[in-house]
């Protein structure tokens, strides 16, 4: 039984404001006004693991991976690890038979250590370091997406040193504006990703790459942005990319259209419809240009994990501002969810763990950080008797929360807790104060006497210059 199937019975309770589409697939009511995810009650998880904590429904992740494989059986589906990557997710990716996109040496190292086959790893990045390129070549990853001729030449030099040939995709900026916040539009002409088609620049770079003996140009790549709901946006990118493919001196085999599939709004993204329309557009476009059929590649990230995540907070204070706005302050904030400050992302928030007959009231849920922009959810409906100690749950936090979390104000990052069949386990532990202090090389091994300055005690044996 899920939240969606029982929603009529919840109309008269606390959950009249819950939108089932925003919550993990296994969400269900629990006794005492609670909700359960993956068979585990949220307030019990908050008590056991502390707050803030992000809960990840592993069954939800597995179901969405299966949905992509079913809708796109002949495509290369690659999960975009930048959305959320931890070792606990890798077995789900392997089981689903998908690839994994990584965009740093750290992500690559984690993927390999966690058991992702190297030939199913795709390495991205507009400015990879020499060490990262070397790690990719050494590991024999399946694909490297190059973003410029400079990156291609550096990769070719590394590959030649290892006496290997690397399969590459060239990232193109096709000049397609997908709309949305400027920070998440990546398919236009005026942004840092990809080689522009204008002026023949993409054709020149592609031809140059095709001439590098250590590189094998196998396809073109683009990523148009995030939270795109209209499949026509990807269809508009197909023709200019195929025009470029038809100009090249090598026969390509792949066309990767990236990710960005929307997860917000009332209508779920139609993966099957996307598959039908985009594969049709590619087939028609290849046929009309005399090209061999190109294999479609897609890179869903947010669409796989966003709705699988729920972050739990505990209320620390409530107050009314002079403007009349009611603030509910919790023990997390922009350190674990910077997306509201970065993009103006919208979230909902819900009291869990008790029922109430109190009236509903617009509230702005804010965090503990020293920034006026530290907001988690604006003008959400909460009962007016919310008080210190209550647990607040924010759904839709599986993507770009754990991945983008920081230790601003020297507050440790929260844990990531996986739930499945009533069993909860820590996937990534909470960052402690000891973790934060361990990186500071100038802290004393023990507190020095007041008023003294002992270089060796303060700096771990590294003597620093004095003013």
Quote the tokens at residue 96.
């689903």
Nearest to 356 by CA among 8, 3, 12, 37: 12
Question: How many Å apart are CA 274 and CA 259, to the nearest integer?
Answer: 11
Question: How many Å apart are CA 251 and CA 294, to the nearest integer?
Answer: 10
Question: How many Å apart are CA 381 and CA 360, to the nearest integer?
Answer: 6
Nearest to 170 by CA among 187, 190, 151: 151
What region does 182 belong to: left with phi over 0, alpha with psi -120 to 50, or beta?
A: alpha
Q: Flag whether 339 is marked binding.
A: yes
| Active-site amino acid positions | 370
Q: Flag whether 313 is marked binding.
A: no
Q: Flag whether 302 is marked binding.
A: yes
Strands (E), 42-119: 53-57, 76-80, 99-102
Q: Flag whether 347 is marked binding.
A: no
H-run or E-run covering 145: strand 143-146
Q: Flag whether 371 is marked binding.
A: yes
Question: How many Å apart are CA 241 and CA 361, to the nearest integer?
Answer: 51
Q: What is the DSSP letter of 178?
A: -
Query: Phi first, then psi: what are they for 334, rounded to 5°?
Result: -65, -15
Question: How many Å apart are CA 424 and CA 169, to the nearest integer?
Answer: 39
Q: Flag whether 301 is marked binding.
A: yes
H-run or E-run covering 418: strand 416-420
Q: Flag whether 260 is marked binding.
A: yes
Q: What is the DSSP letter of 172?
A: E
Q: What is the DSSP letter of 30?
A: E
- With b meaning 16 or more CB within 10 Å and e meaning fewer, what string describes 316-333? bebeeeeeeebebbbbbb
Q: What is the DSSP letter of 185?
A: B
Q: Flag whether 171 is marked binding.
A: no
Query: Phi first, then psi: what are they for 136, rounded to 5°?
Result: -65, -45
- With b meaning 16 or more CB within 10 Å and e meaning fewer, what string describes 426-436? ebbebeeeeee
Query: Order of strands across the sheet with 28-30?
Result: 28-30, 34-37, 40-41
C-beta separation of 45 from 419 below 8 A: yes
Residue ranges of the binding site for substrate: 302, 339, 343, 371, 400
Q: Which residues are annotated as a binding site?
A: 260, 299-302, 339, 343, 371, 400
């Amino acid at each position: 039984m899920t939240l969606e199937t029982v929603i009529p019975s919840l109309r008269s309770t606390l959950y009249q404001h819950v939108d089932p589409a925003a919550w993990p697939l296994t969400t269900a009511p629990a006794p005492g006004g609670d909700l359960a995810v993956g068979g585990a009650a949220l307030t019990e998880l908050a008590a056991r693991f502390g707050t803030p904590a992000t809960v990840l429904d592993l069954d939800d992740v597995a179901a969405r991976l299966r949905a992509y494989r079913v809708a796109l059986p002949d495509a290369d589906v690659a999960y975009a690890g930048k959305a959320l990557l931890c070792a606990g997710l890798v077995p789900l990716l392997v089981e689903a038979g998908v690839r994994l996109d990584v965009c740093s040496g750290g992500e690559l190292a984690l993927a390999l250590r966690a058991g992702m086959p190297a030939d199913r790893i795709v390495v991205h990045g507009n400015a990879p370091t020499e060490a990262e390129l070397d790690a990719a070549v050494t590991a024999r990853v399946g694909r490297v997406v190059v973003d410029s001729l400079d990156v291609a030449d550096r990769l070719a030099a590394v590959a030649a040193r290892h006496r290997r040939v690397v399969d590459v995709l060239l990232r193109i900026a096709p000049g397609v504006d997908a709309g949305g916040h400027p920070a998440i539009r990546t398919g236009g002409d005026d942004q840092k990703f990809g080689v522009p088609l204008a002026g023949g620049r993409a054709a020149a770079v592609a031809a140059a790459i095709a001439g590098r003996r250590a590189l094998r140009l196998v396809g073109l790549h683009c990523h148009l942005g995030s939270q795109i709901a209209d499949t026509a946006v990807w269809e508009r990118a197909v023709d200019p990319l195929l025009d470029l493919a038809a100009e090249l001196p090598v026969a390509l085999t792949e066309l990767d259209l990236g990710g960005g599939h929307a997860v917000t709004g009332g209508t779920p993204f139609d993966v099957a419809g996307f598959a039908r329309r985009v594969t049709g557009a590619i087939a028609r476009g290849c046929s009309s240009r005399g090209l061999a059929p190109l294999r479609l590649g897609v890179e869903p990230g947010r669409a796989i994990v966003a709705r699988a995540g729920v972050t739990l907070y505990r209320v620390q204070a409530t107050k009314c501002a002079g403007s009349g706005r009611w603030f509910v302050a919790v023990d997390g904030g922009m350190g674990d969810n910077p997306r509201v400050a970065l993009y103006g992302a919208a979230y909902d928030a819900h009291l869990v763990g008790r029922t109430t007959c109190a009236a509903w009231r617009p509230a702005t849920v804010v965090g503990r950080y020293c920034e006026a922009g530290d907001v988690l959810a604006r003008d959400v409906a909460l009962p007016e008797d919310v008080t210190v100690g209550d647990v607040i749950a924010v759904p839709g936090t599986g993507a770009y929360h754990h991945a983008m979390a920081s230790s601003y104000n020297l507050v440790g990052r929260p844990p990531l807790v996986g739930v499945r069949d009533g069993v909860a386990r820590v996937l990534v532990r909470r960052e402690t104060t000891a973790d934060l202090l361990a990186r500071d090389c100038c802290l004393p091994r023990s507190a020095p006497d007041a008023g003294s300055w002992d270089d060796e005690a303060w700096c771990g044996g590294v003597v620093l210059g004095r003013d």
